[in-house]
Structure formats: C-alpha cells, structure tokens
C-alpha cells in the first residue's frame, strides 16, 4: 500500500513538473566541438530521466548476471540443508521404529551441513548402542560434544545413560563423577550416580550422596528409603567381619529411625553373636521382646549361642505363660533346651512346635534330637515328615540356619535318589 501511494505521488509530481516546464518553455543548448545540440528543457529533462533509468536497469542486469553463480551456489547449499534436515527427521523416525542401522546412515549423511549437528550425533550414538557398537557410540558422542561445547552436560547425561543401559558400570561411574563435579546438584546426575554406585557396591559413596539426593528429590522417597536401608545393612554386614567393636560402632552410627527397624536389628544381633557377644545380644533381644513381642526377634532369641542357655530358657518359658500356643516361642524354647542338654524338655517343646506350624524346621530338630538319643526309627519318621513339609512349603526354611538347611536339603535329595527305580 505504501509503495502504491509513493508511486502515485511521484507520478503526480512528475506531471506537475512537466506542466510547469512546458509553460515556462526555454531551450537547452549543448555544444561539442563542431556539433551543437539544441532542445527544449522539458525534452532534456525527460531524456535525462530516461537515461538514468536505463543506466540503473543496465547496472541491475550486470549485477544479476555476475551474481548468478553465487545464487546458484546458495540454492545448492539450501537444497543440501533441506535434504540433511529431511534425513534427520527420517533418521529419528527409523530410530524410533527400531531400524538402527538405517537410522545411523541417515543421521550421519552430510552432518556438517546441518543446522543442528548435535541432534544427528546423539541419534547416531543411540543407534550405534543398539547395534552393540560401543566404540562407535563413544566416537559419535565425542563429535556431539565437539559440535556443541555448551551442551557438554546434556551430552554427558546421554553418554552415562547409554553406559548404564549397556551395564558398563565402571565407565558410567567415571562419566558421572565428571558430571557430578560439573553439576553437583543436578537431580538426574545424582539419580544415575546412585544407580551406578549400587551396581558396583559403592555403599559408602551412596551414603554420602543420599542427603543431597533427598534435598534435590533426585529419586522417589521409596527409593531413597530402600537405598538408606540397604546401605545400613551393608555397613552392618561388613562390620561383622571386623569384630564386635566394629559391629557396635556401625550400629550406633545409624540413624535412630533405622535402628528401630527389626530386620536391621536382627543383623546387628547376629553380628554380636557371631563375634562372641551372645550374652549382650540376649539382653538386647530380651529388652525388646519385653516391650513388644515380635516373632522374628523371638526366633533369633532361640538361636543365640549362649554360655548359660538355662537363663534364656527360663525367660522364654515366662513368655510362654502369656502365649502358650505360639510355635515360634515353643521352637525357641526347644532350641535353648537343646543347648542346655535338657533332652526331655527339648523334645516336649519341639513336638509342641511341630504340631502348631507347617514349617519343617521343628520336625528336623526333633529328628536330630531323637537320633542323638538312639531312637533311630522315630528320628527317621520325623525326618520324613520334615521332608514332606519341605516339599509342600516351596523349599522355605527361614527359621533354620544355613547348616541345618543344607542338611535337610541333602536328606531330601538322598530320599529322592533312593525313590528312583
């Protein structure tokens, strides 16, 4: 619209100027040597305007002719860029379809002409990973980092993710350590670092990472609780091999909330008992059971190795006054009676326990006792009943210790071999 108005104004001004010049008249005389040119002012002005217009047109034509190669090159460049862009789209689609080899070829074609080489290299790295070409994957990632230095964090995250998916735990941990130094509060970095450390058993490192991961909400609260619990478990297990003092120190270093967890308390008790502190473990369990009864703690109470099991047996018998039909307490009493070499009371308690629970452990212990007492036929019958319960219990032998479990399973295998024709 503006151009149209401007053209009309120029036309009107030209007409007005022509009318003025025509009214005023006048001559323009140009002498060149022997030649003399005489014309009116109006004609001279019109001729001058026409000459200028022709000159401008000639310059434009020359410029256009000389600019043809450049425009042709630019057209070719734009055409290649469009092709690269189209191949990027097709490559990503093939990658999503699972056609990794084709995707890699499309994504790496003339990538230097692309406006976004980072996307090409990252897609190609994923395609190479899916083909198991880990070295080629790393080469693409290096090119991606080189093409976009400001995207180092993003490229590193992709690299760590691919390494984790390939179960290259050590390489992933090295990458994530670099990223953690680069962005220590990045939630994604923290989450992947926790995963790599867990895979490698780096539980001390996990314990150091957990507070920041909780602040940044790097993983869910349930996952944080699981990692916290497992780290505490590993600390107690490692301390068990270092002696009672180490077990005590590891337990006291745990958060109060974790020390209230029954399963961790059982590991703590087992650590004390394994290092000759059975009496201390007995006092701890007795205090806890007097406050609140828990069958898992009661079970461990009966398995403690004690120098004076009679006292612990008397305590269990007090609890049995309140819970006379509790199979866990009955079995604990039977075990402690076995330690105290009180064969008659052990037999009574184990028979009562086996009559009240479906697990095979009480029957197995009873069979061992009868075998020691020379009652071989009743002992074999108890073993047979224990094996039947073992078969119907999916092989679960939680209350038995590992040696007892192995003995019963070996007996079951032996019975199976004898039953074969």
**Which of these, 171, 246, 185, lies nearest to 215 by C-alpha position?**
185
Q: Which of 144, 168, 200 is the last residue of a domain?
A: 144
CB 253 within 8 A of CB 231: no
Over the stretch 147-160, which tens digit does the pLDDT of each residue have?
Answer: 988 899 999 999 99
SS (H, E, C) 6-53: HHHHHHHHHHHHHHHHHHHCCEEEEEECCEEEEEEHHHHHHHHHHHHH
SS (H, E, C) 347-385: HHHHHHHHHHCCCCHHHHHHHHHHHHCCCHHHHHHHHHH
Identify whether the C-beta of residue 250 lies closer than 8 Å to the C-beta of residue 239.
yes
Alpha helices in 152-220 (DSSP H): 152-165, 169-182, 187-200, 203-216
pLDDT score for 209: 94
Given 94, 124, 144, which residue is the final one in a domain?
Answer: 144
How much is the pLDDT for 85?
82
**What is the domain count for the chain?**
2
Q: Looking at the domain assignment, is residue 403 inside a domain?
A: yes
Check the CA dihedral 48-50-54-56 and report its sign. Answer: positive
Asked if residue 279 is part of any domain, the answer here is no
> Does 133 reside within a domain?
yes
- Condensed to tens digits (0 to 9), the pLDDT of residues 124-141 reads 999 999 999 999 999 999
Domain annotation covers residue 138: yes
Domain assignment present for residue 180? The answer is: no
- Look up residue 265 and give its two tokens: 């308390």
Residue bearing tokens 């069958």: 295
Please check whether residue 101 lies inside any domain of the structure: yes
Where is the domain boundary, 144, 165, 197?
144
Tell me whether residue 98 is in a domain. yes
Structural domain for 369, as ranges: 358-421
Q: What are phi and psi of 340, to 5 degrees?
A: -80, 0
| CA angle centred on 209, ends 246 and 160, rounded to 5° | 125
> Which portions of the chain are predicted below pLDDT 70?
3-4, 6-30, 32-33, 37-49, 64-79, 81, 392-421
- Whether this model's pTM surpasses 0.85: no
- Residue 234: its pLDDT value, please? 94
- Does 291 reside within a domain? no
Instruction: Report the 10 Å Cβ neighbour count for 321.
Output: 7
């Amino acid at each position: 619209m503006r151009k149209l108005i401007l053209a009309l104004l120029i036309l009107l001004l030209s007409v007005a100027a022509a009318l003025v010049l025509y009214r005023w008249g006048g001559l323009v005389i140009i002498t060149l040597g022997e030649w003399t040119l005489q014309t009116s002012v109006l004609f001279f002005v019109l001729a001058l305007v026409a000459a200028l217009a022709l000159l401008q047109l000639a310059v434009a034509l020359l410029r256009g002719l000389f600019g043809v190669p450049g425009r042709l090159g630019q057209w070719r460049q734009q055409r290649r860029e469009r092709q690269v862009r189209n191949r990027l789209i097709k490559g990503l689609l093939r990658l999503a379809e699972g056609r990794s080899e084709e995707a890699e070829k499309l994504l790496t074609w003339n990538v230097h002409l692309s406006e976004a080489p980072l996307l090409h290299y990252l897609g190609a790295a994923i395609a190479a990973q899916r083909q198991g070409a880990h070295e080629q994957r790393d080469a693409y990632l290096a090119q991606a980092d080189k093409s976009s230095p400001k995207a180092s964090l993003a490229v590193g995250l992709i690299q760590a993710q691919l390494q984790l998916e390939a179960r290259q735990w050590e390489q992933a941990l090295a990458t994530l350590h670099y990223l953690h130094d680069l962005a220590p509060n990045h939630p994604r970095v923290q989450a992947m670092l926790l995963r790599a450390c867990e895979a490698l058993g780096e539980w001390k490192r996990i314990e150091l990472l957990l507070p920041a991961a909780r602040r940044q909400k790097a993983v869910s609260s349930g996952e944080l609780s699981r990692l916290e619990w497992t780290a505490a478990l590993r600390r107690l297990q490692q301390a068990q091999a270092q002696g009672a003092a180490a077990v005590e120190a590891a337990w006291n270093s745990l958060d109060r909330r974790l020390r209230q967890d029954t399963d961790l308390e059982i590991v703590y008790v087992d650590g004390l008992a394994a290092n000759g502190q059975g009496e201390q473990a007995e006092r701890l369990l007795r205090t806890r059971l007097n406050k609140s009864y828990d069958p898992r703690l009661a079970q461990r109470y009966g398995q403690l190795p004690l120098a004076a099991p009679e006292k612990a047996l008397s305590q269990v018998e007090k609890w049995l006054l309140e819970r006379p039909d509790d199979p866990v307490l009955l079995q604990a009493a039977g075990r402690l009676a076995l330690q105290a070499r009180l064969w008659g009371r052990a037999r009574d308690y184990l028979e009562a326990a086996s009559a009240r629970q479906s697990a095979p452990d009480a029957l197995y212990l009873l069979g061992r006792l009868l075998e020691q007492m020379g009652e071989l036929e009743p002992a074999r019958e108890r073993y047979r009943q224990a094996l039947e319960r073992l078969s119907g219990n999916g092989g679960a032998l939680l209350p038995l210790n590992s040696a007892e479990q192995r003995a019963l399973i070996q007996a079951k295998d032996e019975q199976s071999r004898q039953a074969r024709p």
